[in-house]
Amino acid sequence: MRNFRAWDIYTDGMEFVKDIYLLTKELPKEEIYGLSSQIRRAVISIVNNMAEGAAKSSSKDFNRFLEMSLGSAFEVETLLKIIQDLDYGDTETIRQLIEKVKSLERRINAFIQKIKKEDINV
């Protein structure tokens, strides 16, 4: 079993969850069941899939959960761009959040590549 709690990418992801929750508090009330709900589910899925994947015994299964985490990060990026295009929220805050999620995407992808490489070397 892997210790996901010690990973920087996981702790950064947890901080990002907080950032998204703060953003969604500022969205129009009519978006509570739309954009707010969708982006909250997607951002939680990023860290949930890391944690769930860490419990998997095979690298193949672990990798699959990391790929789902990456997919959720891409979903969050898309939703942030929609929020940006609709002029919801502070422009600079949204820009910073897009940069944060892109960083998470790169790091998750690097983690996936590392797991794949280790699997080949075993």
Write down the pLDDT at residue 117: 85
Alpha carbon dihedral 52, 57, 60, 64, in 10-degree steps, equals -10
Give the DSSP H/E element, type plus range, for residue 100.
helix 91-121
Residue 76 contacts residue 42 (beta carbons within 8 Å)? yes
Write down the pLDDT at residue 118: 78
Tens digits of pLDDT across the chain (122 residues) = 799 999 999 999 999 999 999 999 999 999 999 999 999 999 999 999 999 999 998 899 999 999 999 999 999 999 999 999 999 989 999 999 999 999 999 999 999 999 888 775 54
Write down the pLDDT at residue 120: 59
Write down the pLDDT at residue 13: 98
CB atoms within 10 A of CB 5: 10
> 56: Cβ–Cβ under 8 A, 6 or more apart, which residues?
62, 65
pTM strictly above 0.85: yes
The domains located in the chain, with CATH, are 4-116 (1.20.1440.60)
d(CA 92, CA 62): 35
Q: Is 56 helix (H, G, I), strand (E, B) or coil?
A: coil
Angle between helix 35-54 and 8-25 (nearest 10): 170
Write down the pLDDT at residue 1: 76
Residue 79 contacts residue 89 (beta carbons within 8 Å)? no
